[in-house]
Amino acid sequence: MSKINIKPCITNKPKIIHIGLGAFHRAHQALYTSELIDKEKTLWSISSINLFGSVELIKELRQQDNVYAVLERGSNREQVKISKSITHSLHPLLDGREKVLETLADVNTAIVSLTITEKGYCIEPSSGTLDTNNPLIQDDLKSAQSPKSAIGYIVEALRLRKERQRPPFTVMSCDNIQSNGDVARKAILGYAKLVDSELYEWIQDHVTFPNTMVDRIVPAVTPETLAYIESKLGYADHCAIACEPFRQWVIEDNFVNGRPNWNEVGAEFVEDVIPYEQMKLRMLNGSHSFLSYLGYLSGYKYISEVIDDKEFLKATLDFMLAEQAPTLNLPSEVNIEQYAKLLIERFSNNKLQHATSQIATDGSHKLPPRFCESLIYNRSKRIQTHWLELGIAAWMNYVIGTDDDGNSIEVNDPLSPIFDSIKSDCKSSRDSALALINLECIFNESITNDTELVNNIIEKFISIQESGAKATLYRMANKIDLNQ
Protein backbone atom coordinates (compact mmCIF):
# COMPACT_ATOMS: atom_id res chain seq x y z
CA MET A 1 0.00 0.00 0.00
CA SER A 2 1.44 3.34 -1.05
CA LYS A 3 1.01 6.69 0.58
CA ILE A 4 -0.58 9.71 -1.02
CA ASN A 5 2.27 11.39 -2.88
CA ILE A 6 0.68 14.78 -3.53
CA LYS A 7 2.57 17.46 -1.64
CA PRO A 8 0.87 20.45 -0.07
CA CYS A 9 1.23 23.49 -2.30
CA ILE A 10 1.66 25.87 0.62
CA THR A 11 4.98 26.05 2.45
CA ASN A 12 4.62 29.24 4.50
CA LYS A 13 3.82 29.20 8.19
CA PRO A 14 0.13 28.45 8.81
CA LYS A 15 -2.01 31.44 9.73
CA ILE A 16 -4.99 29.31 10.79
CA ILE A 17 -4.67 27.06 13.83
CA HIS A 18 -7.55 24.63 14.12
CA ILE A 19 -8.36 22.76 17.34
CA GLY A 20 -10.33 19.55 16.83
CA LEU A 21 -8.92 17.53 13.94
CA GLY A 22 -11.98 15.39 13.33
CA ALA A 23 -13.74 14.23 10.19
CA PHE A 24 -16.01 17.28 10.00
CA HIS A 25 -13.14 19.76 9.98
CA ARG A 26 -11.35 17.79 7.28
CA ALA A 27 -14.49 17.62 5.12
CA HIS A 28 -15.54 21.23 5.65
CA GLN A 29 -13.26 24.13 6.65
CA ALA A 30 -10.06 22.41 5.55
CA LEU A 31 -11.57 21.44 2.19
CA TYR A 32 -12.87 24.97 1.54
CA THR A 33 -9.36 26.26 2.23
CA SER A 34 -7.80 23.59 0.02
CA GLU A 35 -10.05 24.55 -2.89
CA LEU A 36 -9.07 28.18 -2.39
CA ILE A 37 -5.43 27.12 -2.57
CA ASP A 38 -6.12 25.12 -5.74
CA LYS A 39 -7.53 28.26 -7.33
CA GLU A 40 -4.36 30.12 -6.31
CA LYS A 41 -6.57 32.55 -4.41
CA THR A 42 -4.86 32.30 -1.01
CA LEU A 43 -1.59 31.75 0.81
CA TRP A 44 -3.42 30.79 4.00
CA SER A 45 -2.90 27.28 5.33
CA ILE A 46 -3.84 25.35 8.47
CA SER A 47 -2.08 23.77 11.42
CA SER A 48 -4.56 21.33 12.99
CA ILE A 49 -4.40 20.18 16.59
CA ASN A 50 -5.98 17.27 18.40
CA LEU A 51 -5.98 17.91 22.14
CA PHE A 52 -7.86 14.73 23.09
CA GLY A 53 -8.58 12.91 19.84
CA SER A 54 -6.66 10.16 18.13
CA VAL A 55 -2.88 10.20 18.27
CA GLU A 56 -2.86 7.60 15.50
CA LEU A 57 -4.69 9.96 13.16
CA ILE A 58 -1.94 12.55 13.63
CA LYS A 59 0.74 9.94 12.92
CA GLU A 60 -1.07 8.77 9.80
CA LEU A 61 -1.55 12.32 8.53
CA ARG A 62 2.11 13.10 9.00
CA GLN A 63 3.07 10.03 6.99
CA GLN A 64 0.88 11.42 4.20
CA ASP A 65 2.30 14.97 4.47
CA ASN A 66 -1.10 15.91 5.95
CA VAL A 67 -2.77 15.30 2.57
CA TYR A 68 -5.91 13.16 2.42
CA ALA A 69 -8.89 12.27 0.23
CA VAL A 70 -12.50 13.41 0.65
CA LEU A 71 -15.18 11.33 -1.08
CA GLU A 72 -18.29 13.40 -1.74
CA ARG A 73 -20.92 10.73 -2.13
CA GLY A 74 -24.52 11.34 -3.13
CA SER A 75 -27.31 9.02 -4.17
CA ASN A 76 -26.58 9.54 -7.87
CA ARG A 77 -23.07 10.97 -8.08
CA GLU A 78 -19.75 10.97 -6.31
CA GLN A 79 -16.42 12.76 -6.53
CA VAL A 80 -13.04 12.30 -4.84
CA LYS A 81 -11.18 15.46 -3.87
CA ILE A 82 -7.66 15.73 -2.45
CA SER A 83 -7.34 18.17 0.44
CA LYS A 84 -3.97 19.76 1.09
CA SER A 85 -4.61 22.85 3.18
CA ILE A 86 -3.37 21.25 6.41
CA THR A 87 0.40 21.64 6.49
CA HIS A 88 1.05 20.74 10.13
CA SER A 89 -0.71 18.45 12.62
CA LEU A 90 -0.06 18.41 16.35
CA HIS A 91 -0.98 16.52 19.51
CA PRO A 92 0.19 17.32 23.06
CA LEU A 93 1.06 13.65 23.63
CA LEU A 94 3.34 13.69 20.57
CA ASP A 95 4.64 17.25 20.58
CA GLY A 96 4.20 18.46 24.15
CA ARG A 97 1.98 21.15 25.61
CA GLU A 98 4.58 23.88 25.07
CA LYS A 99 4.78 23.26 21.30
CA VAL A 100 1.00 23.51 21.02
CA LEU A 101 0.95 26.76 23.03
CA GLU A 102 3.78 28.27 20.99
CA THR A 103 1.97 27.40 17.77
CA LEU A 104 -1.13 29.19 19.01
CA ALA A 105 0.91 32.14 20.27
CA ASP A 106 3.01 32.43 17.10
CA VAL A 107 2.98 35.93 15.60
CA ASN A 108 1.73 34.51 12.27
CA THR A 109 -1.41 32.99 13.79
CA ALA A 110 -4.38 35.10 12.72
CA ILE A 111 -7.33 32.73 13.27
CA VAL A 112 -7.90 29.98 15.82
CA SER A 113 -10.83 27.89 14.66
CA LEU A 114 -12.63 25.21 16.64
CA THR A 115 -14.60 22.01 16.18
CA ILE A 116 -14.53 20.66 19.73
CA THR A 117 -18.26 19.75 20.12
CA GLU A 118 -20.59 21.27 22.68
CA LYS A 119 -18.81 19.75 25.66
CA GLY A 120 -15.44 21.18 24.62
CA TYR A 121 -16.52 24.70 25.56
CA CYS A 122 -17.10 23.65 29.17
CA ILE A 123 -20.35 25.62 29.24
CA GLU A 124 -23.25 24.78 31.53
CA PRO A 125 -25.98 24.14 28.91
CA SER A 126 -29.03 25.68 30.61
CA SER A 127 -27.29 28.90 31.77
CA GLY A 128 -24.81 29.37 28.92
CA THR A 129 -22.03 30.32 31.35
CA LEU A 130 -18.70 28.69 32.09
CA ASP A 131 -19.06 25.51 34.12
CA THR A 132 -16.50 26.08 36.86
CA ASN A 133 -17.22 22.57 38.17
CA ASN A 134 -16.02 21.02 34.94
CA PRO A 135 -12.97 18.86 35.83
CA LEU A 136 -10.89 20.28 32.96
CA ILE A 137 -11.61 23.85 33.99
CA GLN A 138 -10.86 23.06 37.63
CA ASP A 139 -7.51 21.55 36.62
CA ASP A 140 -6.69 24.52 34.39
CA LEU A 141 -7.51 27.03 37.13
CA LYS A 142 -4.96 25.31 39.36
CA SER A 143 -2.27 25.60 36.69
CA ALA A 144 -3.28 28.08 34.01
CA GLN A 145 0.08 27.95 32.22
CA SER A 146 -0.22 24.18 31.79
CA PRO A 147 -3.74 23.89 30.36
CA LYS A 148 -5.67 20.81 29.33
CA SER A 149 -8.92 22.24 27.93
CA ALA A 150 -9.24 24.04 24.61
CA ILE A 151 -10.47 27.09 26.54
CA GLY A 152 -7.38 26.97 28.76
CA TYR A 153 -5.05 26.64 25.77
CA ILE A 154 -6.59 29.62 23.97
CA VAL A 155 -6.50 31.89 27.02
CA GLU A 156 -2.90 30.96 27.82
CA ALA A 157 -1.90 31.56 24.19
CA LEU A 158 -3.57 34.97 24.30
CA ARG A 159 -1.72 35.72 27.54
CA LEU A 160 1.56 34.94 25.79
CA ARG A 161 0.64 37.16 22.85
CA LYS A 162 -0.30 40.04 25.14
CA GLU A 163 2.91 39.58 27.14
CA ARG A 164 4.99 39.54 23.94
CA GLN A 165 3.10 42.51 22.48
CA ARG A 166 1.79 40.50 19.56
CA PRO A 167 -1.54 41.19 17.86
CA PRO A 168 -4.61 39.19 18.89
CA PHE A 169 -6.19 36.48 16.79
CA THR A 170 -9.79 35.77 15.86
CA VAL A 171 -11.48 32.84 17.60
CA MET A 172 -13.83 31.19 15.09
CA SER A 173 -16.08 28.41 16.33
CA CYS A 174 -17.29 26.01 13.63
CA ASP A 175 -19.35 23.77 15.91
CA ASN A 176 -23.05 23.02 15.61
CA ILE A 177 -23.97 25.25 18.52
CA GLN A 178 -26.41 28.13 18.47
CA SER A 179 -24.49 31.44 18.52
CA ASN A 180 -21.26 29.44 18.54
CA GLY A 181 -19.06 32.53 18.49
CA ASP A 182 -20.93 33.97 21.45
CA VAL A 183 -20.57 30.64 23.29
CA ALA A 184 -16.83 30.64 22.65
CA ARG A 185 -16.61 34.25 23.81
CA LYS A 186 -18.49 33.56 27.06
CA ALA A 187 -16.37 30.51 27.82
CA ILE A 188 -13.05 32.23 27.10
CA LEU A 189 -13.90 35.48 28.88
CA GLY A 190 -15.45 33.61 31.80
CA TYR A 191 -12.28 31.60 32.25
CA ALA A 192 -9.93 34.55 31.64
CA LYS A 193 -11.71 36.62 34.28
CA LEU A 194 -10.94 33.93 36.85
CA VAL A 195 -7.29 33.75 35.78
CA ASP A 196 -6.20 37.35 35.14
CA SER A 197 -8.46 40.44 35.20
CA GLU A 198 -6.12 42.49 32.96
CA LEU A 199 -5.97 39.68 30.42
CA TYR A 200 -9.76 39.45 30.55
CA GLU A 201 -10.05 43.12 29.63
CA TRP A 202 -7.44 42.79 26.84
CA ILE A 203 -9.31 39.84 25.29
CA GLN A 204 -12.63 41.66 25.63
CA ASP A 205 -11.23 44.71 23.84
CA HIS A 206 -9.15 43.05 21.11
CA VAL A 207 -10.29 39.50 20.24
CA THR A 208 -13.24 38.86 17.92
CA PHE A 209 -15.55 35.84 17.96
CA PRO A 210 -17.58 35.63 14.73
CA ASN A 211 -20.61 33.37 14.72
CA THR A 212 -20.68 30.79 11.94
CA MET A 213 -23.15 28.31 10.49
CA VAL A 214 -21.62 25.12 9.14
CA ASP A 215 -23.53 22.38 7.37
CA ARG A 216 -22.38 19.10 5.89
CA ILE A 217 -23.26 15.53 6.87
CA VAL A 218 -20.02 13.70 7.66
CA PRO A 219 -20.54 10.21 9.09
CA ALA A 220 -17.90 8.49 11.19
CA VAL A 221 -15.35 6.70 9.03
CA THR A 222 -15.71 2.92 8.82
CA PRO A 223 -13.36 0.22 7.43
CA GLU A 224 -15.88 -0.25 4.61
CA THR A 225 -15.66 3.46 3.75
CA LEU A 226 -11.86 3.36 3.65
CA ALA A 227 -11.89 0.23 1.50
CA TYR A 228 -14.29 1.84 -0.96
CA ILE A 229 -12.18 5.01 -1.20
CA GLU A 230 -9.07 2.87 -1.71
CA SER A 231 -10.80 1.18 -4.66
CA LYS A 232 -11.42 4.61 -6.18
CA LEU A 233 -7.94 6.02 -5.48
CA GLY A 234 -5.90 2.94 -6.28
CA TYR A 235 -4.01 3.30 -3.01
CA ALA A 236 -4.77 3.25 0.70
CA ASP A 237 -5.51 6.49 2.55
CA HIS A 238 -6.09 5.82 6.24
CA CYS A 239 -7.11 9.45 6.79
CA ALA A 240 -9.72 9.58 4.04
CA ILE A 241 -13.32 10.52 4.80
CA ALA A 242 -16.68 10.37 3.06
CA CYS A 243 -19.41 13.01 3.20
CA GLU A 244 -22.46 14.23 1.33
CA PRO A 245 -22.03 16.54 -1.70
CA PHE A 246 -24.02 19.34 -0.03
CA ARG A 247 -22.16 21.87 2.08
CA GLN A 248 -22.80 25.33 3.47
CA TRP A 249 -20.75 27.84 5.43
CA VAL A 250 -22.14 31.20 6.55
CA ILE A 251 -19.73 33.43 8.48
CA GLU A 252 -20.05 36.77 10.25
CA ASP A 253 -17.40 39.00 8.72
CA ASN A 254 -15.76 40.00 11.99
CA PHE A 255 -12.03 39.17 11.85
CA VAL A 256 -9.47 41.15 13.79
CA ASN A 257 -6.35 39.98 11.95
CA GLY A 258 -7.38 39.15 8.39
CA ARG A 259 -9.04 36.11 6.79
CA PRO A 260 -9.05 34.05 3.59
CA ASN A 261 -11.67 34.87 0.96
CA TRP A 262 -13.61 31.64 1.50
CA ASN A 263 -16.49 33.24 -0.42
CA GLU A 264 -14.47 32.52 -3.58
CA VAL A 265 -15.27 28.81 -3.10
CA GLY A 266 -18.86 28.97 -1.89
CA ALA A 267 -18.83 30.32 1.67
CA GLU A 268 -20.95 33.36 2.46
CA PHE A 269 -19.91 36.32 4.62
CA VAL A 270 -22.81 38.11 6.33
CA GLU A 271 -23.43 40.67 9.06
CA ASP A 272 -25.68 38.37 11.11
CA VAL A 273 -25.51 34.58 10.93
CA ILE A 274 -28.10 33.88 13.64
CA PRO A 275 -31.16 33.35 11.36
CA TYR A 276 -29.28 30.81 9.23
CA GLU A 277 -27.82 29.16 12.29
CA GLN A 278 -31.17 28.74 14.03
CA MET A 279 -32.71 27.32 10.87
CA LYS A 280 -29.97 24.73 10.58
CA LEU A 281 -29.82 23.87 14.28
CA ARG A 282 -33.55 23.40 14.68
CA MET A 283 -34.52 22.03 11.27
CA LEU A 284 -31.51 19.83 10.43
CA ASN A 285 -29.81 19.11 13.75
CA GLY A 286 -33.09 18.97 15.64
CA SER A 287 -34.50 16.51 13.11
CA HIS A 288 -31.30 14.49 13.27
CA SER A 289 -31.65 14.14 17.04
CA PHE A 290 -35.36 13.34 16.68
CA LEU A 291 -34.58 10.60 14.14
CA SER A 292 -31.55 9.30 16.02
CA TYR A 293 -33.30 8.60 19.35
CA LEU A 294 -36.58 7.33 17.95
CA GLY A 295 -34.81 5.49 15.13
CA TYR A 296 -32.28 3.82 17.39
CA LEU A 297 -34.96 2.70 19.82
CA SER A 298 -36.97 1.34 16.88
CA GLY A 299 -34.07 -0.78 15.65
CA TYR A 300 -32.81 1.37 12.79
CA LYS A 301 -29.04 1.61 12.48
CA TYR A 302 -28.74 4.43 9.94
CA ILE A 303 -30.62 7.70 9.35
CA SER A 304 -31.41 6.72 5.75
CA GLU A 305 -33.19 3.63 7.07
CA VAL A 306 -35.26 5.69 9.50
CA ILE A 307 -36.39 8.23 6.92
CA ASP A 308 -37.24 5.40 4.50
CA ASP A 309 -40.03 4.47 6.93
CA LYS A 310 -42.99 6.50 5.63
CA GLU A 311 -44.40 7.10 9.13
CA PHE A 312 -41.06 8.49 10.34
CA LEU A 313 -40.88 10.60 7.19
CA LYS A 314 -44.35 12.00 7.84
CA ALA A 315 -43.52 12.68 11.49
CA THR A 316 -40.24 14.39 10.63
CA LEU A 317 -41.84 16.74 8.11
CA ASP A 318 -44.51 17.69 10.64
CA PHE A 319 -41.83 18.11 13.31
CA MET A 320 -39.92 20.52 11.05
CA LEU A 321 -42.79 22.52 9.57
CA ALA A 322 -45.30 22.57 12.45
CA GLU A 323 -42.97 22.83 15.45
CA GLN A 324 -39.51 24.05 14.41
CA ALA A 325 -40.25 26.43 11.52
CA PRO A 326 -42.62 28.70 13.56
CA THR A 327 -39.73 29.50 15.93
CA LEU A 328 -37.54 30.93 13.17
CA ASN A 329 -37.10 34.54 12.03
CA LEU A 330 -35.80 34.00 8.51
CA PRO A 331 -34.78 36.27 5.63
CA SER A 332 -37.63 36.71 3.13
CA GLU A 333 -35.77 34.82 0.39
CA VAL A 334 -35.72 31.57 2.40
CA ASN A 335 -38.43 29.06 1.41
CA ILE A 336 -38.74 26.91 4.51
CA GLU A 337 -40.81 24.20 2.84
CA GLN A 338 -38.20 23.76 0.12
CA TYR A 339 -35.51 23.65 2.79
CA ALA A 340 -37.41 20.93 4.66
CA LYS A 341 -37.73 18.86 1.47
CA LEU A 342 -34.00 19.31 0.80
CA LEU A 343 -33.25 18.00 4.29
CA ILE A 344 -35.40 14.92 3.71
CA GLU A 345 -33.52 14.31 0.46
CA ARG A 346 -30.21 14.60 2.30
CA PHE A 347 -31.34 12.28 5.09
CA SER A 348 -32.38 9.74 2.43
CA ASN A 349 -28.84 9.47 1.01
CA ASN A 350 -28.26 5.73 1.51
CA LYS A 351 -24.69 5.96 0.22
CA LEU A 352 -23.73 7.56 3.55
CA GLN A 353 -23.93 5.29 6.58
CA HIS A 354 -24.79 7.95 9.16
CA ALA A 355 -25.39 5.95 12.30
CA THR A 356 -28.22 6.87 14.66
CA SER A 357 -25.91 5.99 17.57
CA GLN A 358 -23.35 8.57 16.37
CA ILE A 359 -25.89 11.40 16.30
CA ALA A 360 -27.31 10.31 19.68
CA THR A 361 -24.07 11.05 21.56
CA ASP A 362 -23.82 13.94 24.04
CA GLY A 363 -27.57 14.55 24.07
CA SER A 364 -27.44 16.49 27.32
CA HIS A 365 -25.59 19.25 25.45
CA LYS A 366 -27.66 19.02 22.27
CA LEU A 367 -31.18 19.07 23.70
CA PRO A 368 -31.32 22.73 24.86
CA PRO A 369 -30.66 24.34 21.44
CA ARG A 370 -32.29 21.63 19.33
CA PHE A 371 -35.46 20.94 21.34
CA CYS A 372 -35.86 23.00 24.49
CA GLU A 373 -35.72 26.50 23.03
CA SER A 374 -38.36 25.62 20.43
CA LEU A 375 -40.45 23.94 23.11
CA ILE A 376 -40.45 27.07 25.28
CA TYR A 377 -41.26 29.36 22.34
CA ASN A 378 -44.11 27.20 21.07
CA ARG A 379 -45.68 26.84 24.52
CA SER A 380 -45.66 30.62 24.90
CA LYS A 381 -47.42 30.99 21.52
CA ARG A 382 -49.82 28.05 22.01
CA ILE A 383 -48.25 26.16 19.10
CA GLN A 384 -48.27 22.35 19.14
CA THR A 385 -45.30 20.58 20.70
CA HIS A 386 -46.25 16.89 20.25
CA TRP A 387 -43.07 15.90 18.40
CA LEU A 388 -40.74 17.94 20.59
CA GLU A 389 -42.27 16.18 23.60
CA LEU A 390 -41.83 12.80 21.91
CA GLY A 391 -38.20 13.61 21.03
CA ILE A 392 -37.43 14.42 24.66
CA ALA A 393 -39.29 11.32 25.83
CA ALA A 394 -37.25 9.21 23.38
CA TRP A 395 -34.02 10.77 24.65
CA MET A 396 -35.07 9.91 28.20
CA ASN A 397 -35.70 6.31 27.28
CA TYR A 398 -32.40 6.21 25.38
CA VAL A 399 -30.33 7.33 28.37
CA ILE A 400 -31.97 5.17 31.05
CA GLY A 401 -33.97 2.49 29.20
CA THR A 402 -33.68 -0.15 26.49
CA ASP A 403 -34.52 -0.28 22.80
CA ASP A 404 -37.80 -1.72 21.52
CA ASP A 405 -36.32 -5.22 21.57
CA GLY A 406 -35.23 -4.92 25.20
CA ASN A 407 -31.53 -4.49 24.42
CA SER A 408 -29.41 -2.34 26.72
CA ILE A 409 -27.99 0.90 25.32
CA GLU A 410 -24.41 2.13 25.57
CA VAL A 411 -24.84 5.82 26.33
CA ASN A 412 -22.04 8.23 25.43
CA ASP A 413 -22.74 11.44 27.34
CA PRO A 414 -20.98 13.61 29.97
CA LEU A 415 -23.93 12.98 32.32
CA SER A 416 -23.85 9.18 31.98
CA PRO A 417 -23.01 8.66 35.69
CA ILE A 418 -26.09 10.70 36.64
CA PHE A 419 -28.25 8.72 34.24
CA ASP A 420 -26.97 5.49 35.79
CA SER A 421 -27.90 6.73 39.26
CA ILE A 422 -31.41 7.70 38.13
CA LYS A 423 -31.84 4.32 36.51
CA SER A 424 -30.83 2.46 39.67
CA ASP A 425 -32.45 4.71 42.29
CA CYS A 426 -35.89 5.48 40.84
CA LYS A 427 -38.62 2.93 41.52
CA SER A 428 -41.11 3.90 38.81
CA SER A 429 -41.13 5.21 35.24
CA ARG A 430 -42.73 8.44 36.39
CA ASP A 431 -40.06 8.98 39.05
CA SER A 432 -37.32 8.37 36.47
CA ALA A 433 -38.86 10.82 34.03
CA LEU A 434 -39.26 13.49 36.72
CA ALA A 435 -35.64 13.04 37.81
CA LEU A 436 -34.48 13.62 34.24
CA ILE A 437 -36.76 16.63 33.66
CA ASN A 438 -35.45 18.19 36.86
CA LEU A 439 -31.85 18.19 35.64
CA GLU A 440 -31.29 21.96 35.74
CA CYS A 441 -28.26 21.76 33.45
CA ILE A 442 -30.62 20.70 30.61
CA PHE A 443 -34.16 21.91 31.38
CA ASN A 444 -34.82 25.37 32.79
CA GLU A 445 -37.78 26.52 34.88
CA SER A 446 -39.91 27.39 31.84
CA ILE A 447 -40.13 23.66 31.20
CA THR A 448 -40.02 22.19 34.71
CA ASN A 449 -42.72 24.59 36.00
CA ASP A 450 -45.07 23.81 33.10
CA THR A 451 -47.08 21.00 34.71
CA GLU A 452 -49.11 20.19 31.61
CA LEU A 453 -45.97 19.96 29.48
CA VAL A 454 -44.16 17.77 32.03
CA ASN A 455 -47.13 15.42 32.17
CA ASN A 456 -47.24 15.25 28.35
CA ILE A 457 -43.57 14.26 28.20
CA ILE A 458 -43.98 11.68 30.97
CA GLU A 459 -47.01 10.20 29.19
CA LYS A 460 -44.99 9.74 26.00
CA PHE A 461 -42.02 8.37 27.95
CA ILE A 462 -44.23 5.73 29.56
CA SER A 463 -45.79 4.94 26.19
CA ILE A 464 -42.34 4.26 24.73
CA GLN A 465 -41.48 2.04 27.68
CA GLU A 466 -44.70 0.08 27.44
CA SER A 467 -45.45 0.00 23.69
CA GLY A 468 -42.10 0.86 22.09
CA ALA A 469 -40.84 3.94 20.25
CA LYS A 470 -42.01 2.81 16.83
CA ALA A 471 -45.57 2.01 17.94
CA THR A 472 -45.81 5.32 19.81
CA LEU A 473 -44.63 7.31 16.80
CA TYR A 474 -46.90 5.38 14.44
CA ARG A 475 -49.95 6.16 16.57
CA MET A 476 -49.11 9.85 16.52
CA ALA A 477 -48.19 9.93 12.81
CA ASN A 478 -51.50 8.35 11.83
CA LYS A 479 -53.29 11.43 13.16
CA ILE A 480 -51.37 13.82 10.87
CA ASP A 481 -52.85 15.34 7.73
CA LEU A 482 -49.99 16.98 5.86
CA ASN A 483 -52.41 18.49 3.35
CA GLN A 484 -53.97 20.79 5.91
Contacts for 100 with CB less than 8 Å, ≥ 6 apart: 49, 51, 90, 92, 153
Q: How far is residue 161's CA from residue 204's CA, in Å, rounded to a whole number?
A: 14
Q: Are residues 263 and 321 in the same domain?
A: no
Q: Are residues 250 and 294 in the same domain?
A: no
The answer to whether position 146 is within a domain reads yes
The secondary structure of 23-40 as a DSSP string is HHHHHTHHHHHHHHHHTT
The answer to whether position 259 is within a domain reads yes
Q: Are residues 121 and 240 in the same domain?
A: yes
416-425 vs 386-400: helix crossing angle, rounded to 10: 80
Q: State the CATH number of the domain containing residue 250.
A: 3.40.50.720
Q: Are residues 266 and 278 in the same domain?
A: no
Of 236, 252, 270, the last residue of a domain is 270
Q: Is the pLDDT of residue 377 over 50?
A: yes
The answer to whether position 1 is within a domain reads no
CB of 463 closer than 8 Å to CB of 430: no
Q: Kindly report, residue by residue over 407-418, the tens digit of the pLDDT.
A: 999 999 999 999
Q: State the CATH number of the domain containing residue 358.
A: 1.10.1040.10
Instruction: Please list the alpha-helical segments (H only) found in 217-348.
Output: 223-233, 274-279, 286-297, 303-307, 310-318, 336-347
- What type of residue sits at position 194? L
Q: Are residues 94 and 112 in the same domain?
A: yes
Q: Are residues 413 and 310 in the same domain?
A: yes
The answer to whether position 199 is within a domain reads yes
Q: Is the pLDDT of residue 363 over 80?
A: yes
Q: Are residues 294 and 212 in the same domain?
A: no
The share of the chain scoring above pLDDT 70, in percent, equals: 96
CB of 157 closer than 8 Å to CB of 171: no
The answer to whether position 4 is within a domain reads no
Contacts for 332 with CB less than 8 Å, ≥ 6 apart: none
CB of 294 closer than 8 Å to CB of 473: yes
> Which comes out higher in pLDDT, residue 186 or 330?
186
Give the pLDDT score at 38: 93
Of 270, 293, 312, the last residue of a domain is 270
Which is nearest to 297 in space by CA: 217, 408, 371? 408
Q: Kindly report, residue by residue over 72-99, the tens digit of the pLDDT.
A: 999 888 999 999 999 999 999 999 999 9
The share of the chain scoring above pLDDT 90, in percent, equals: 89
Q: Kindly report, residue by residue over 416-450, the tens digit of the pLDDT.
A: 999 999 999 999 999 999 999 999 989 999 999 99
Boundaries of domain holding 321: 274-477
Q: What is the mean pLDDT of residues 379-383?
A: 97
The answer to whether position 348 is within a domain reads yes
Q: Are residues 232 and 355 in the same domain?
A: no
Q: Kindly report, residue by residue over 444-479, the tens digit of the pLDDT.
A: 999 999 999 999 999 999 999 999 999 999 999 998
HSE (side-chain half, CA atoms, 13 Å) at 476:
27
The answer to whether position 352 is within a domain reads yes
In this prediction, residue 482 has a pLDDT band, given cuts at 50, 70 and 90, of: low
Q: Kindly report, residue by residue over 228-241, the tens digit of the pLDDT.
A: 999 999 999 999 99
Give the pLDDT score at 75: 86
Give the pLDDT score at 177: 87
Of 270, 304, 329, the last residue of a domain is 270
Q: Is the pLDDT of residue 22 over 60?
A: yes
Q: Are residues 103 and 179 in the same domain?
A: yes
Q: Are residues 251 and 358 in the same domain?
A: no
Q: What is the mean pLDDT of residues 286-306?
A: 98
pTM: 0.84
**Total domains, the chain:** 2
Give the pLDDT score at 6: 46
Q: Are residues 309 and 254 in the same domain?
A: no
HSE (side-chain half, CA atoms, 13 Å) at 300:
24
CB of 219 closer than 8 Å to CB of 179: no
The answer to whether position 11 is within a domain reads no
Q: Are residues 346 and 406 in the same domain?
A: yes
